[in-house]
A and B are shown apart, each in its own frame.
Chain A
C-alpha cells in the first residue's frame, strides 16, 4: 500500500480533493494528544491500493501553530512515500511559499495546480509545465471540484514514488546566512546524535529561523552543539542588524519570496487583465461587509440559521423522543417491576434517549455552520466582529459558538463548544469553549419560565430579556477574567485570509456534517451511558428502609379499604383516563397518587443525592437554596432538563413534566421557602453553574484534556455560587424581594 499525504494552504481545495478521492471511505480522528483533526482514507487507483492522509491546512512550516507542528512531525516521522502539495492557481505566489519550504525539506513532492477554472475565469493563464521544469517535480493542473485532472495527478504522484529520493532544494539566502548554514551543516553531519532524524541543511536553516522545536531537540540531543549554534546565531544577528537592519528569519523569508518572484517571472503566469479588477467575490463583499449593510445582513443570516435549525429540527427531535418514549414503555411492560426495570427505564433509556434526542439538532446546526464556513462567510463574520470580541480577550470567530450555545436563547452548548473548532487561535479558542456554556441553552429555559412565571409574572418579557443580557455580559466578562488569569498572554495575531466566496459542494457539506454528528453519537453511546446509570443510582440508593416501604403499602391498603370498592383494579390501572372513572374511583386515585408522590419524595430524600442535598444545605443557605433545590440543581449537572422534573419529585408531585408545570408553580408560590429573591438567586445560579455532562465531555475533548472539563465543572459552579450568594445576601440585607 502506498501512502500519499495532501498538503497545502487553507482554502486551496485540499479537503475537496480528499473527499473526491476517498468519498465516504474516510476516517476522522485526532492526532495523538492534540485536537487537530487527522483525516485518513483509502482508495484504489489502477489496481493499486492507496492510503491518503489529509494534512491540516497551513501557510508555512514554522512551529507556531499546532497545525504546523502536526504537519511537520508527520512529514519527518511518518515519511509518506509521496506528498501532493495543492496550489491555488488563482493565487500562486503565496501558495508557492509553502511549496518552496516543502522542497527545502527534501520531501518527495508532486504539485497539483488546482482551481485552474477560477484562474482562467480571472484571465490568468498558468503554465504548470514550466513550473514543473523549473522545480524538477511534476505539476499537474486540476479542478478538484469536478475531478478534472485527478487521474493524471495520481499517475504522476505514483511515478514520483518510484524515483530516487529527491535532494533538498538549496536556495541562497545571502552570503552571511549561507556561510553560517555551511558551518552548521558540517557540524551536524559529524554528530552521531543529530545526523539521522532531520536533513542537516534543513535543520540548520530552521535553527537560524529560531524554530523552538528544533532548538529544543538540539539542546536535548547535543547541548554543546546547541550552545555553539546559539553563539553563532547571536553573532549573525548582530551582523545583520548593523549592516542590513534585519534579522535572519526575516531575511530567509525575503529570499524565499525573491526566489518565487524569479520563478513567476519565468513566464509561469500571464495576467490578461489588471490584477486589481473586482471579482464577483469582491462585489459580494461590497455589500456583505459594508459598514452599514454588513451588520444588518449578519443579523439576518444568523437569525435565519437559528430559526431554520431550531424550527425544522423540532420535527425529527420529536420522532426521537417518541421512539425513546415507546422504548421506555415497552421495557416497562416487558420487565418485572423492580430495580432492574427502574435502571433500564429511568437510567439508561431516559439518559441516553435525552442525549440522542439532540442528534437531529446537531445535524441541522452543523449543516448550517459547514455551509457558512465552506462558503467563506464565517471569516467575514470574524472580520466584522473582531473589534468587539478582542476587548474581552476573544477572537472575532468566537461569535458563532456563543450564539449556538444560546446567545439567542434556546441554543445548545454541545454544538456550540464543537463549533469553536473554527477558531484557529489556541488561547482565544479555549476561553470561548469555557464561556460559551454560560449562554442560555434550550434546556435551561423551562426552569427560567417557571420561576419567572411564578415570581415575576408582571414583568415576564423584561425578566427573560434581562436573563439574556446577564448571560452575554457574564460570558464576556468571565472570558476576560480567564484571559487575565488562567489563560494569560497576548492576543494571538489576527492576520487572516478572507477566502473568496465559493458555493460549497454538497458532498463536502454532508461529509463534514456527518463527521461531527457521528462523534456526538459515539459519546452518547459510551460515556453518557455510564453517567446515566451513575446518576440514576445516586437518586435511587440507598433504598427506603423495609419498615418505610411496609408503611406505604399499609397506607395504600387502608385507602382502598376505606372506600370498600368491589373492584379496585380500575383505579390502579393508569391506562384508564380520569374521565372514565366514577367520582369515587377518581377520588381514590388522587389519594393514591398523592401517597405515591410522598413515597417518591421520601425515597429521593433518603437517596445519596438527597443526603448530599441536605448535607450541602449549610453552605447553600447563603444563596438561599434548601435541600430540594440542591437536589434539583445536582440533577441539572447531568442534564439541565432534569431540574424541573426533580424539583417536582422533591415537592411530592411525582416527576413533573416541564410542559405542564402549573402545579409546581402553585407549590412554589405557596411555599415559605421561596421568594422572588430566592427565585432570582436560583436563576442566576442556573445561568452560570456547571455545564451539563455532555457539554463537559465536549469541553474536555475540544480543549484537549480532562483538566479543562473538570475546571469548567468546579470554576463555573464556584462562580455561580458566589454570584447567587452575593445577590441573595445583599437582597436580604436591603429587604428586596423577600
Chain B
C-alpha cells in the first residue's frame, strides 16, 4: 500500500502512521499526543484556510499545521 506525506491526504481519508521524521520538540509533542507508528486515524477536516489539519485518532481530535504534517509518513489505501 502506498505511503504518502500526511499533508497530501484528503478530507475523511483513513491512514496508518508509518514513520515520524520530526525530532526535538516537535517530535516529542507529536508522540505525546499519541501519534506513533501503527496508529490508525482519519482526516477530520481542515481550517478555512486549508491549514491546520484536524485528525481523529484514539477517540479525540488533534490539530497540527501542514508544515508539521510534512514530517509524518502515512500508509493509505490509495494515493
Contact = CB atoms under 8 A, between A and B. Distances in A.
A706 B67 CA distance: 35
A257 B30 contact: no
Nearest to A101: B32
A291 B54 CA distance: 13
A173 to B, nearest CB: 13
Interface in B12-62: 20, 23, 25-34, 36-39, 42, 44-52, 54, 56, 58-62
A94 B59 CA distance: 9
A492 B33 CA distance: 15
Nearest to B23: A247
A265 B49 CA distance: 39
A275 interface: yes
A459 interface: no
A493 B39 CA distance: 20
Given A60-B32, A276-B56, A498 B47 contact: no
Contacts of A97: 32, 34
Interface in A81-104: 90-94, 97
Contacts, number: 113
Contacts of A285: 44-45, 61
B47 A59 contact: no
Contact of A387 (B33, B45, B51, B59): B51
Given A60-B32, A257-B36, A496 B60 contact: no
Given A60-B32, A91-B58, A498-B61, A250 B27 contact: yes
B36 A498 contact: no
Contacts of B58: 91, 93-94
B70 interface: no
B36 A496 contact: no
A51 to B, nearest CB: 29
Contact of B30 (A64, A122, A254, A495): A495
A292 B54 CA distance: 16
Contacts of B20: 250
B10 interface: no
A73 B25 CA distance: 20
Interface residues of B, number: 37
Nearest to B56: A276
B29 A388 contact: no
A257 B34 contact: yes
A495 B27 contact: no
Given A276-B42, A386-B47, A388-B49, A497 B59 contact: no
A494 B36 contact: no
A9 to B, nearest CB: 10
A249 B45 contact: no
A94 B34 contact: yes
B54 A497 contact: no
A23 interface: no
B64 interface: yes
A91 B60 contact: yes
Nearest to A124: B59
B33 A291 contact: no
Nearest to B50: A387
Contacts of A62: 28, 32
Contacts of A386: 47, 51-52, 65
A495 B61 contact: no
A295 interface: yes
Given A93-B58, A285-B61, A383-B63, 10 more contacts: A249-B28, A250-B31, A253-B31, A254-B37, A276-B56, A285-B45, A289-B48, A386-B52, A386-B65, A499-B60
Q: Which 8 A-B pairs have the closest CB atoms?
A: A387-B49, A60-B32, A498-B61, A253-B31, A59-B32, A94-B34, A495-B29, A493-B29
20 contacts: A62-B28, A62-B32, A64-B29, A93-B59, A97-B32, A247-B23, A253-B31, A253-B32, A257-B34, A282-B61, A285-B44, A285-B61, A383-B47, A383-B52, A387-B47, A493-B25, A494-B52, A494-B64, A497-B62, A498-B54
Interface of B: 20, 23, 25-34, 36-39, 42, 44-52, 54, 56, 58-65, 68
